[in-house]
Every structure is written in C-alpha cells, then in structure tokens.
C-alpha cells in the first residue's frame, strides 16, 4: 500500500556540537513505496521522530500540562486568557492548550517507522536485524513517552499503532482506557529495552537519543504512576548501579554558628561550583546527571524559539509564583548567617520575574539569553529523579508494615539530593532525629523535595496528581490537591476550586471541543461534558 511519509521537518538543519547527530536532510511528501529503500531512509525517519519534539507547541504543553495547574508557576504580563483561566481553575473545552495534536504527530511518525521499516530489509541487504530492532525500539520508546504525557494529562485517549497519511492522526478512534494504554506501554518498553544500545558512542547522542537507561527511567516513571512500586524500585536500582550517572558535586565549608542558645553546624557552598552546576545543567546541557534531553540547537533562525517566547523577563508568559516559591518551597535559614541557603532557589531556579533556569546565560549575573539564541535543552529526565523515584517507591512499599529498613534507605536517597543542594533543614526534613521514620512524613518530604529539585521542569502538577490519586483519591490524599489550591488559586476562586477538585475528572484536562466534534466516536471527559464552566 502506497503511503506518504510524514514531513520530518521541512528544513535542513546542521546543528552545533550539542546535537550533531540530529543533522537532517529535508524529506517532504515523498511517496512511501519510493522512499523506504535503504537503512539510511529508516535512520532519517527515526531522527525525524526526535526532531518533531523540537516543535514549540509540544514543548509549551510539556510545560503547561506539567506546571500551570500547580503552585510554582503563575501567568505573566503577556499571557493570554487561556493561560490565565487555567490558573483560575476555569478550564473550558475551548481552551487551546488542550490541543494534543503535536503529541499525536510524533506518535504518528513513530508508527510510520514501525509500520514501514521492516520491509526495507527486502530491498537493502545490509540492513541488519540488530539495526532494525534498534530503530524500532527507539520509535517504541518515543511513542511511549508521548502516550505517557497524554494519559497523565487526559487519562483516557485514542490509541493507535497505525500510521496516518497526514501529519496528524485522522482516524475516528474512540478513547482507550488510560490503564490499558499504560499496560501496553510497559510491554513496549520491555521490548525496547532489550534492543536499545547502552551507548551510541558519544555523550551528545547518549543524552539526546533513547538508550536502555533512558527507556528504563521512563518505565520506572510509568511504574510509579501505576503504583507498581517494586517494579519502579528495581529499575531505579539498575540505573543507580550502572555507574553512568552521578550528581554534579558542589563543595562546601562547614561553619559553626550561634543560633539563639544553641550552636548550629551549617555549610557555605563554593559559589564557583554552584555557577558551574547551573551552566552544566541548563546552559551547556548533557551533563553527567542528564539521562534524556530534547536537544535544542545553540543557534537557529528558522525554528520557533520556545524558551525565550514564554520565559523572557521583559514580557513573560509565565513567571515564578514568588510567594509560594520563596516561602513554601525554598524556606530561608532562620539563623543570622545569610550565606546559608538552598542553591536551587533564588538566582538559580528563578530570578525576579524570570524563570531563570530556562533563560539565564549565567547564574551569577543578570545576563539572559536573547531571541533565537535561547538554547537550553528541555530536560525530560536527570539522575536526581531516579534517586527520588526510588525513595518514593520504597516509602510506598514500607507503608503497610512500617518497614523501617526501607524507610531509612529511602530517606538516604532524599538526603543525597538535599545535601548536594545545601537544602535548609527544618524539623519536617530532619526525620532521622525522630527515631522511627513516619512513612507519611517521608512521603510529604519527597513530594516537597521534588518541588525544589525540579521547579519549573514540567513535573509539579503530575507529582501532585500522582499523590492525590492513590487509594482512589482518598480524603487523606486530597490534602495534596487542597494545599495546591491554597497555594495557587486566586483568593476569590479558592472555594470553587476546592469543590472542583472533589471530582477526580476535573484533575485531568478536557479534550478540545473541536476535536470531539470532528470525531463521532470520541466523547468528552465526564466532568467537562456535564458541568458548565
């Protein structure tokens, strides 16, 4: 059957050293039967799947779906009404940010690889079984990543393994239950892991293409969402034991200070090390703790520049929710020593109206990146997430029988992340000073620590929802949504938002109404189908 291959990206890119592997030739509207002639054609299409992740609209949704309903981000002076309404909890079926088309475009490109690549072996004798299996594994893993975003955001969504002849899925498919989609993603990722390389031979490709390690990290994240805590912990153990990743160190000097009637031991960090950490994580990218990053080029004049557009400090779409971030997330040291601080806070994650980690050129100055010169990679996974995922999984495993061995092991992983960051200690964080560790207290600490470590990295809302949905959105877990509403909602919207959160379907996004109207087999998510906003 003759099919048109999707437009990979109708431009030629020769990127700088940060992503040389992503160099593409333009492929546009080529008839499939004439295109799929060699293993190089397959490779080009696989690279096109990665290139599709560079689309600004996809990155915007990775951020908005993961942050804007939470408490760390608010809207800036140039935000449109759709974004402002999300912050208010007034999310309608007409809100353009509910458009999922860019995710399905990438899914469709992955399906194209999986559907057409095997037949290339019939015309290219040099196309080995091993290389075919690798390309298929990359497509499976990228498709799984896209569907995982969709399931966490909408819960039940259309699922297809078939390639469409247009950029977007044009089949009139009904929704598939999110739980069933996740089961399929687990199966696909297990297959992919067996066929993916441990390394592509250079650091940039290892961080920008799917390896066994990044696929295992994605699978661990899915297990955590599914509440398969042992599966998550086991995969995290493998990644930690691989020796491939580590925390970038920050050296410190121990200082004894008088704090009231007591003497505290505190630490002053090396400012040069903190500056270097910022540069390696957010300016240069592909650091020793990076597991998978979407690789934006250092300079470009044709791609829409997503970071500058929404994070610039002059007229930003999105800004830090300063009151929450500075008081709740990064509390100040209560003593008199102003040199004691959590390095991830002010001038690192945020600075004034900037979400600094995405536009700052340097941590130690106010120099920001410029339009078409805003080039941080979008970090999907880095090593601290593996440590905190394992801590969360162990904590949940220990809940039923108060297993102190697991809880202490979990707390040890949290402390690794906190100690690197010189996190401020409070009675709520020093759990080892209280004898037995409370599973509930440790769960909350891990949640808070993820807020500190991954502030503005597109994870806060998903973290909140993952905690809230345990035990079928029990009253005990409702406290996560309750606190989120208290932190984030405008005062005049708080009461109504708390009522809305009592309906679990409100915690997911509505399907864009135009998409529902175009597909007779698609039904709107229940809350949005029955409630007038």
Please write the tens of the pLDDT for every residue from 323-373.
999 989 999 988 888 899 999 999 999 998 889 999 899 999 988 887 766
| In the predicted structure, residue 463 carries a pLDDT above the cut 90 | yes
Please give the model's pTM, rounded to 2 decimal places: 0.93
Of the candidates 35, 216, 234, the residue with the CA atom closest to the CA atom of residue 123: 35
For residue 369, the enclosing domain spans 252-288+296-376
User: What mean pLDDT do residues 237-257 have?
Assistant: 96
Q: Do residues 480 and 498 touch, judged by C-beta distance below 8 A?
A: no
Q: Distances from the Cα of 145 to the Cαs of 37, 64, 103, 219, in angstroms?
A: 28, 17, 9, 9
How sure is the predictor about 261, in pLDDT bands with cuts at 50, 70 and 90?
confident
- Give the model's pLDDT for residue 531: 58
Residue 360 maps to a domain: yes
Longest alpha-carbon distance in the chain: 81
User: What mean pLDDT do residues 64-84 have?
Assistant: 93
Residue 62 maps to a domain: no
- Give the model's pLDDT for residue 388: 98
Render the burial of 313-325: b for 16+ CB within 10 Å, e for the rest: beebbbbbbeebb
- Give the model's pLDDT for residue 22: 55
User: Which helix (H) or strand (E) element contains residue 323?
Assistant: helix 322-323
Q: How far apart are CA 333 and CA 206, in angstroms?
A: 39
| In the predicted structure, residue 152 carries a pLDDT above the cut 80 | yes
How sure is the predictor about 4, in pLDDT bands with cuts at 50, 70 and 90?
very low
- Give the model's pLDDT for residue 191: 98
Please write the tens of the pLDDT for every residue from 113-139.
999 999 999 999 999 999 999 999 999
- Give the model's pLDDT for residue 166: 59
- Give the model's pLDDT for residue 25: 41
| In the predicted structure, residue 18 carries a pLDDT above the cut 70 | no
Question: 255 — phi, psi (to 5°)?
Answer: -130, 140
Please write the tens of the pLDDT for every residue from 215-240.
999 999 999 999 999 999 999 999 99
User: What mean pLDDT do residues 509-515 have?
Assistant: 96
User: What mean pLDDT do residues 7-14 have?
Assistant: 32
User: Which helix (H) or strand (E) element contains residue 257?
Assistant: strand 252-259
How sure is the predictor about 430, in pLDDT bands with cuts at 50, 70 and 90?
confident
Residue 426 maps to a domain: no
Residue 532 maps to a domain: no
- Give the model's pLDDT for residue 35: 82
Q: How far apart are CA 209 and CA 105, in angstroms?
A: 18
Please write the tens of the pLDDT for every residue from 467-505.
999 999 999 999 999 999 999 888 999 999 999 999 999
- Give the model's pLDDT for residue 367: 85
Please write the tens of the pLDDT for every residue from 163-202.
886 555 456 899 999 999 999 999 999 999 999 999 999 9
- Give the model's pLDDT for residue 387: 98
How sure is the predictor about 252, in pLDDT bands with cuts at 50, 70 and 90?
very high
User: What mean pLDDT do residues 259-279 have?
Assistant: 90
- Give the model's pLDDT for residue 319: 94
- Give the model's pLDDT for residue 299: 61
- Give the model's pLDDT for residue 303: 57
| In the predicted structure, residue 6 carries a pLDDT above the cut 70 | no
Residue 343 maps to a domain: yes
| In the predicted structure, residue 27 carries a pLDDT above the cut 60 | no
Please write the tens of the pLDDT for every residue from 194-217.
999 999 999 999 999 999 999 999
Q: Treating both helix axes as pointing N-terminal to C-terminal, what angle do 404-421 and 383-398 enclose, rounded to 10 degrees? A: 150
- Give the model's pLDDT for residue 7: 34
**Residue 77 C-beta-side C-alpha neighbours within 13 Å:** 7
- Give the model's pLDDT for residue 125: 96
Q: Distances from the Cα of 511 to the Cαs of 61, 146, 475, in angstroms?
A: 14, 16, 27
| In the predicted structure, residue 34 carries a pLDDT above the cut 70 | no
Average pLDDT, whole number, for the chain?
89
Contacts of 222 (CB under 8 A, 6+ apart): 144, 148, 182, 185, 186, 189
The fraction of the chain above a pLDDT of 70, given in percent, is 89
- Give the model's pLDDT for residue 134: 98
User: Which helix (H) or strand (E) element contains residue 291?
Assistant: strand 290-294
Residue 48 maps to a domain: no
Q: How many domains does the chain have?
A: 1
Residue 450 maps to a domain: no
Residue 55 maps to a domain: no
- State the DSSP string of 392-427: HHHHHHHTTTT-HHHHHHHHHHHHHHHHHHTPPP-T
């Amino acid at each position: 059957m003759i099919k048109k291959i999707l437009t990979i990206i109708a431009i030629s890119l020769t990127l700088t050293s940060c992503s040389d592997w992503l160099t593409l030739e333009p492929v546009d509207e080529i008839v499939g039967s004439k295109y799929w002639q060699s293993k190089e054609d397959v490779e080009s299409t696989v690279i096109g799947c990665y290139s599709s992740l560079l689309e600004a609209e996809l990155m915007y949704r990775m951020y908005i779906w993961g942050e804007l309903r939470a408490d760390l981000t608010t809207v800036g002076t140039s935000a449109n009404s759709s974004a402002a309404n999300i912050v208010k909890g007034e999310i309608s079926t007409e809100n353009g940010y509910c458009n999922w088309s860019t995710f399905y475009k990438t899914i469709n490109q992955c399906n194209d690889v999986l559907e057409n690549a095997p037949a290339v072996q019939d015309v290219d004798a040099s196309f080995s079984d091993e290389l075919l299996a690798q390309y298929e594994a990359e497509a499976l893993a990228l498709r799984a990543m896209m569907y995982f975003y969709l399931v966490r955001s909408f819960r039940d969504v259309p699922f297809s393994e078939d390639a469409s002849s247009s950029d977007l899925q044009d089949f009139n498919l009904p929704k598939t239950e999110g739980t069933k989609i996740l089961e399929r993603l687990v199966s696909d990722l297990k297959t992919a892991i067996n066929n993916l390389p441990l390394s592509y031979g250079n650091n940039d490709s290892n961080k920008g293409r799917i390896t066994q390690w990044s696929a295992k990290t994605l699978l661990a994240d899915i297990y955590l969402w599914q509440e398969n805590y042992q599966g998550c912990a086991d995969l995290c153990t493998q990644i930690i034991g691989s020796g491939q990743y580590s925390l970038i160190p920050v050296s410190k000097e121990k200082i004894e200070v008088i704090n009231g009637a007591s003497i505290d031991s505190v630490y002053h960090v090396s400012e040069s090390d903190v500056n270097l950490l910022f540069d390696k994580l957010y300016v240069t990218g592909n650091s020793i703790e990076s597991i998978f990053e979407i690789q934006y080029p250092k300079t470009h004049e044709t791609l829409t520049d997503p970071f500058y557009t929404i994070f610039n400090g002059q007229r930003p779409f999105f800004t830090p929710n300063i009151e929450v971030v500075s008081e709740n997330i990064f509390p100040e040291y209560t003593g008199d020593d102003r040199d004691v601080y959590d390095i991830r806070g002010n001038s690192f994650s945020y600075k004034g109206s900037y979400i600094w980690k995405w536009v700052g050129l340097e941590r130690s100055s106010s120099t920001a990146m410029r339009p078409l010169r805003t080039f941080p990679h979008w970090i999907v996974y880095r090593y601290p997430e593996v440590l905190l995922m394992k801590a969360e999984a162990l904590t949940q495993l220990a809940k039923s029988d108060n297993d102190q061995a697991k809880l202490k092991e979990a707390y040890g992983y949290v402390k690794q992340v906190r100690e690197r960051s010189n996190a401020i200690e409070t009675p709520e964080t020093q759990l080892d000073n209280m004898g037995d560790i409370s599973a509930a207290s440790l769960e909350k600490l891990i949640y808070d620590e993820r807020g500190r470590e991954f502030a503005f990295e597109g994870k806060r809302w998903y973290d909140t929802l993952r905690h809230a949905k345990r035990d079928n959105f029990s009253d005990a877990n409702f406290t996560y949504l309750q606190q989120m509403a208290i932190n984030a909602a405008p005062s005049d919207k708080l009461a109504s938002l708390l009522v809305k959160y009592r309906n679990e379907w409100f915690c997911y996004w509505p399907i864009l109404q135009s998409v529902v109207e175009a597909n007779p087999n698609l039904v709107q998510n229940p809350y949005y189908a029955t409630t007038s906003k």
